[in-house]
A and B are shown apart, each in its own frame.
Chain A
Amino acid sequence: MDYQAVIGLEVHAHLKTRTKAFCGCPTEFGAPANSQVCPVCLGFPGSLPVLNKAALDFAVKVALALNCTVQEFTKLDRKNYFYPDLPKNYQISQYDLPLSRNGFLDIFTGKTRKRIGITRVHLEEDAGKLIHQESVSLVDFNRSGIPLLEIVSEPDINSPQEAYAYLTALKSILEYLEVSDCDMEKGSLRCDANISVRKAGEKTLGTKAELKNMNSFKAVRDALDYEILRQSEEVASGNAVVQETRLWDAGKQKTLPMRAKEEAKDYRYFPEPDLPPFIIRAEAIEEVRKGIPEMPREKISRFMSDFGISEYDATILTSRKEDALFAEECIKEYPEKDKKTVTNWLIGPLLSEANNRNCALPGLRITAKRLLGLISLVERQEISGLSAKTVLTEMIDSGREAGEIIKEKGLSQVSDSASLESVADEVIRENVKSVADFKQGKESALMFLVGQAMKKSRGKANPKVIQEVLKRRLADA
């Protein structure tokens, strides 16, 4: 029996405003505990919140980028619950009149495009952080009051891969807008998932579980994978899926039920009386809309039409805004009309260097000009492709120019057939069997011999020239 997963994601993203949502405290990450606090974000008696206009603008920006309708009339509400990291024991959030609703986000899995509905995007404040020690628990309120966006998707997601693609696309948008750092490790992006399964073709939804404690996009994917299997097995064996919150245990690679709540949650939402409702005028929305830069989807289309590169390549190159800016510079400067070579360089060696170093392309500190210089050396056959990769690594590590490195390491490609003849002869002497195979008409044996020759020259031989030399010497032999 086939099961279909029905998944909705709830993402919380820190907005990187300079100050907190309702007070003037800084929002920087990593400051000493309780060094970025004031009576307001500590919830001291008598203190009152004042909405940070920048947080509202950021939120509207995201809502527009996610194709949501921004509500003209919106208000903040109190969500009441007791927890020591919540200094007022209520969170200022939005309930029945969220900032925006009814948006969508297009995602790509493989070659297929899918539209995921966005239920709502609303503004709220973050809580502090509990630090559990042996006999006591401490609270760091630096995070308390940092503006958060809650972005809720429709249950339109049907696989862990789609969930992953959704998160990647969402993160990309938030980064493009420069409104969030989206760093899951620092907690500036968090994701919970609602998931249920149903038999393929069924219309009614199964009982859902809420998954929490996933600290990376990969963890979200893994947790969903696990949960689909678990729920499918439950249903297949005739058991009921329990509606519950489950925590992802990355060590055990499974979801485990959270300790059962004593009672049903009742947040007793009501309008925040300390903050009057506000009207976001259409002109203000248009003003924000004007400030929205080119979004990933638009960039992908432009890369495809302007540079003739594939959608797949364009998607990879634009997923991070910084990568896209660097890539665009390189591609534009690249003199040939066909951009395949430079694109391959960017997607291949460059991005893999960046991933190894956990940075974006500009973080490699190699200029577009230098990269193109290196590519042109390969194209002019002055160095081999293989050597070029070594040179690239060295350029990134040392910040030196390609020419300098090539000279120092003696990596210039040898295209002089005379100097390659001795290498060819040596290879022919040492590989009697392959030579025999070649003579019996096995073309692949030649490629093997070329490879051996390349190895002997430590990558410096021009593969085309060595092939010619080998052919000639084999005919003679």
Chain B
Amino acid sequence: MNLNTSTLTAHELIEKLDGREITLEEVLSGLRERINKIDPQVKAYVRRNEPQAAVNPAAAGPLKGIPVTVKDNICTEGLNTECCSHILEGFRPPYDATVIRKLKSAGATILGLKANMDEFAFGSSTENSYFGPTHNPWRLDCVPGGSSGGSAAAVAADEAVFALGSDTGGSIRQPAAFCGVVGMKPTYGRVSRYGLIAFASSLDQIGPITKDVEDCSLLLGVISGHDPLDSTSVDAPVPDYGKSLDRDIKGLKIAIPKEYFVEGMEAQVKEALEEAVSELKKLGATVKEISLPHTKYAVPVYYIVATAEASSNLARFDGVQYGLRIKSENLIEMYKKTRGEGFGQEAKRRVILGTFALSHGYYEAYYLNALKVRTLIKRDFDGAFKEFDCIVTPTSPSAAFKIGEKVEDPLKMYLSDIYTISANLAGIPAISVPCGFTGDNLPVGLQILARPFDEGTLLKAAFAYEQATVWHKMKPKV
């Protein structure tokens, strides 16, 4: 049978593998061909000279050996894991992240190629990668979003069946929106962070980037659950997420925060959102406007908390044990040169910002206040979720922008995460699903947020919407 397997979703592949319509070898070679053909343009993967598939000896589980694409900041035993940073050059972790272990035991093949990303997940465009930018499959001169831009672009361009990303302030959802795929940031504590090279420990979550909502539920189910190796993972039962996919959202109470419509939202994004809202209404949901009054503080609070934690998390990259070491006359010089050469511009900027925010005399004014406002932001959501089942917003105020357009203006770049950051600060789950296109044929994403550990409702709403629309079926012409 000569089927183009690379366009299929994971659940379609499983069905066909179960029905013996295709073989795993066909799936793997189909993907390899697609990567070889497309990736020189998209550059979703790094280290393309490495072996492509790390064959999983236990390909017997429910995932049937289907390959999964992994972001370069998730530890894969024996495979380079460098956070797309010069400073981690050659780092091959001696262990698997918990999510990788879970995927392997569910029968997934871990793709040897790792997905491109902004260095240490610092960015919203994947331009901050040591290996160079990834291109948006919909328009190659545009960014794929970030920081999980490689994962999202690979899924969108059918160079991946499905992928793992990480989301600290929108790093799964924003690239998913920019590339026209589904991306979910689970509740903080839903998925183990063990083996995720930390950016900001209190905000980071690993999550799925997939071609449709069903794959999202599939992948989420595999990677979720309490992990004794991660003290911040929560010991709550993992529901069968497949059961949420019933298309029935009659009576679902949806809120739209008015604060999200103030400044910077592109007209076409607004239109797409409005159409999505009327679609949701058609499906039986009720939609009401609410206020999340502390929304305006989300970006500043985020950039204090995230950079403070990052400054400490990145301290270990010092040339002593692994990765890059620039030999020097003495220890201090070795530190300075290694970190000076090993970190890119944005990494340095964030480490310096975070160090400043934690410094004596500034800690109270910055970090401590940020923590307090973070609590207020969380309370906004707690209040809203007393009355509503979910909140919908655009995923990003704009569609994908041009490569190079915002690199000189970090503040403008930071604002592209304005709608996604709050979910990380509040620890709540959020999903981005495709909800239309701009006149430039660039995808737009709809973000849905829900109560902590209520990924089920997210999937339910997202699935109902997806099945009522055609956006997820659109493919870029690369």
Residues from chain B with a CB closer than 8 A to the CB of A87 are 316, 320-321
Interface: A214 (CB within 8 A): no
C-alpha gap A159/B229 in the complex (Å): 47
**Chain B 96-149 interface residues, beta-carbon cutoff 8 Å to A:** 97
A89-B94 in contact given A46-B75, A51-B231, A268-B359 (Cβ < 8 Å): no
Stretch from A37-45, A56-64, A174-182, A362-370 that touches the partner: A37-45
- The bracket for how many chain B residues form the interface is 35 or more
Residues from chain B with a CB closer than 8 A to the CB of A48 are 193-194, 229-232
C-alpha gap A45/B320 in the complex (Å): 13
**Chain A 10-55 interface residues, beta-carbon cutoff 8 Å to B:** 39, 42-51
Task: Indicate which residue in B311, B320, B360 contacts A84 across the interface (CB closer than 8 Å).
Answer: B320
Residues from chain B with a CB closer than 8 A to the CB of A49 are 231
A45 touches B231 (CB 8 A): no
Task: Indicate which residue in B74, B201, B229, B360 contacts A273 across the interface (CB closer than 8 Å).
Answer: B201
C-alpha gap A443/B361 in the complex (Å): 82
Binary CB contact string for chain A from 87 to 114 against chain B (1 if under 8 A, 0 otherwise): 1111000000000000000000000000
Name the CB-closest residue of B to A267.
B360
Task: Indicate which residue in B200, B309, B316 contacts A45 across the interface (CB closer than 8 Å).
Answer: B316
Binary CB contact string for chain B from 189 to 208 against chain A (1 if under 8 A, 0 otherwise): 00001111110111000000
Interface: B315 (CB within 8 A): yes
Residues from chain A with a CB closer than 8 A to the CB of B83 are 45
Minimal beta-carbon separation of A329 from chain B (angstroms): 44
B97 touches A80 (CB 8 A): no
A89-B318 in contact given A46-B97, A48-B229, A273-B202 (Cβ < 8 Å): yes
Interface: A349 (CB within 8 A): no
Total A-B pairs in contact (CB under 8 Å)? 101
C-alpha gap A39/B230 in the complex (Å): 13
C-alpha gap A68/B193 in the complex (Å): 36
A88-B197 in contact given A39-B94, A48-B229, A139-B320 (Cβ < 8 Å): no
Binary CB contact string for chain A from 243 to 274 against chain B (1 if under 8 A, 0 otherwise): 00000000000000000000000101110011
A84 touches B331 (CB 8 A): yes
Name the CB-closest residue of B to A85.
B320
Task: Indicate which residue in B88, B229, B231, B312 contacts A275 across the interface (CB closer than 8 Å).
Answer: B231
Interface: B476 (CB within 8 A): no
Binary CB contact string for chain B from 283 to 313 against chain A (1 if under 8 A, 0 otherwise): 0000000000000000000000000110110
Task: Indicate which residue in B194, B200, B312, B367 contacts A46 across the interface (CB closer than 8 Å).
Answer: B194
Name the CB-closest residue of A to B194.
A48
B312 touches A90 (CB 8 A): yes
Residues from chain A with a CB closer than 8 A to the CB of B444 are none
Minimal beta-carbon separation of B101 from chain A (angstroms): 12
Interface: A78 (CB within 8 A): yes
A266 touches B231 (CB 8 A): no
B315 touches A88 (CB 8 A): yes
Which residue among A46, A78, A274 has the maximum number of chain B CB atoms within 10 Å of its CB? A46
Residues from chain A with a CB closer than 8 A to the CB of B74 are 46
Name the CB-closest residue of B to A264.
B360
Task: Indicate which residue in B97, B315, B331, B367 contacts A89 across the interface (CB closer than 8 Å).
Answer: B315
Residues from chain A with a CB closer than 8 A to the CB of B197 are 45-46
Give how many A residues have a beta carbon under 8 Å from the other chain's beta carbons.
29
Residues from chain B with a CB closer than 8 A to the CB of A88 are 315-316
C-alpha gap A87/B315 in the complex (Å): 9
A46-B358 in contact given A39-B95, A78-B312, A90-B312 (Cβ < 8 Å): no
**Chain A 120-175 interface residues, beta-carbon cutoff 8 Å to B:** 137, 139
Interface: B187 (CB within 8 A): no
Minimal beta-carbon separation of B335 from chain A (angstroms): 6
Interface: A73 (CB within 8 A): no
A45 touches B312 (CB 8 A): no
C-alpha gap A319/B196 in the complex (Å): 49
Interface: A308 (CB within 8 A): no
Interface: B322 (CB within 8 A): yes
Residues from chain A with a CB closer than 8 A to the CB of B151 are none
Interface: B91 (CB within 8 A): yes
Residues from chain B with a CB closer than 8 A to the CB of A335 are none
Name the CB-closest residue of B to A44.
B93
A39 touches B93 (CB 8 A): yes
Interface: B355 (CB within 8 A): yes
B198 touches A276 (CB 8 A): no
B231 touches A82 (CB 8 A): no
Minimal beta-carbon separation of A304 from chain B (angstroms): 48
Residues from chain B with a CB closer than 8 A to the CB of A50 are 228-231
C-alpha gap A363/B155 in the complex (Å): 70
C-alpha gap A275/B308 in the complex (Å): 16
A80-B358 in contact given A48-B193, A274-B232 (Cβ < 8 Å): yes
Which residue among B95, B202, B231, B359 has the maximum number of chain A CB atoms within 10 Å of its CB? B231
**Chain B 352-384 interface residues, beta-carbon cutoff 8 Å to A:** 355, 358-360, 363, 367
Minimal beta-carbon separation of A128 from chain B (angstroms): 10
Residues from chain A with a CB closer than 8 A to the CB of B320 are 84, 87, 139
Minimal beta-carbon separation of A296 from chain B (angstroms): 36
A268-B94 in contact given A43-B316, A50-B228, A90-B312 (Cβ < 8 Å): no
C-alpha gap A160/B214 in the complex (Å): 73
Binary CB contact string for chain B from 61 to 81 against chain A (1 if under 8 A, 0 otherwise): 000000000000011000001
Residues from chain A with a CB closer than 8 A to the CB of B194 are 46-48
Residues from chain B with a CB closer than 8 A to the CB of A84 are 318, 320, 331
Residues from chain A with a CB closer than 8 A to the CB of B311 are 80, 268
C-alpha gap A269/B357 in the complex (Å): 11
Minimal beta-carbon separation of A240 from chain B (angstroms): 25
Minimal beta-carbon separation of A289 from chain B (angstroms): 26
A45 touches B358 (CB 8 A): no
Residues from chain B with a CB closer than 8 A to the CB of A276 are 231-232
C-alpha gap A410/B172 in the complex (Å): 91
Residues from chain B with a CB closer than 8 A to the CB of A273 are 200-202, 232, 309
B88 touches A270 (CB 8 A): no
Task: Indicate which residue in A42, A51, A139, A270 contacts B312 across the interface (CB closer than 8 Å).
Answer: A270
C-alpha gap A82/B195 in the complex (Å): 23
A270 touches B358 (CB 8 A): yes
B316 touches A89 (CB 8 A): yes
A82-B201 in contact given A48-B229, A270-B358 (Cβ < 8 Å): no
Residues from chain B with a CB closer than 8 A to the CB of A268 are 311-312, 355, 358-360, 363
Minimal beta-carbon separation of A193 from chain B (angstroms): 24
C-alpha gap A78/B229 in the complex (Å): 19
A45-B88 in contact given A80-B315, A88-B316, A90-B315 (Cβ < 8 Å): yes
Residues from chain A with a CB closer than 8 A to the CB of B201 are 273-274
Which residue among B88, B229, B308, B355 has the maximum number of chain A CB atoms within 10 Å of its CB? B229
A46 touches B198 (CB 8 A): yes
Minimal beta-carbon separation of B434 from chain A (angstroms): 31
Minimal beta-carbon separation of A161 from chain B (angstroms): 37
Residues from chain A with a CB closer than 8 A to the CB of B335 are 82
**Chain B 158-178 interface residues, beta-carbon cutoff 8 Å to A:** none
Task: Indicate which residue in A46, A82, A266 contacts B318 across the interface (CB closer than 8 Å).
Answer: A82
The 9 closest A-B pairs by CB, nearest first: A89-B315, A273-B201, A268-B358, A273-B202, A45-B197, A46-B195, A46-B75, A266-B360, A46-B197
Contacts A44-B93, A84-B320 supplied; 15 other A-B pairs, CB < 8 Å: A39-B93, A39-B94, A44-B94, A45-B83, A45-B316, A46-B93, A46-B194, A51-B231, A90-B312, A137-B331, A268-B358, A268-B359, A270-B308, A270-B312, A273-B202
Residues of B within 8 A of A (CB): 74-75, 81, 83, 88, 91, 93-95, 97, 193-198, 200-202, 228-232, 308-309, 311-312, 315-318, 320-322, 331, 335, 355, 358-360, 363, 367
What are 23 A-B contacts defined by CB distance under 8 Å? A44-B93, A44-B322, A45-B75, A45-B83, A45-B91, A45-B316, A45-B322, A47-B194, A48-B230, A49-B231, A50-B228, A80-B315, A82-B318, A87-B316, A87-B320, A89-B315, A90-B312, A137-B331, A266-B359, A268-B312, A268-B363, A273-B200, A274-B198
Residues of A within 8 A of B (CB): 39, 42-51, 78, 80, 82, 84, 87-90, 137, 139, 266, 268-270, 273-276
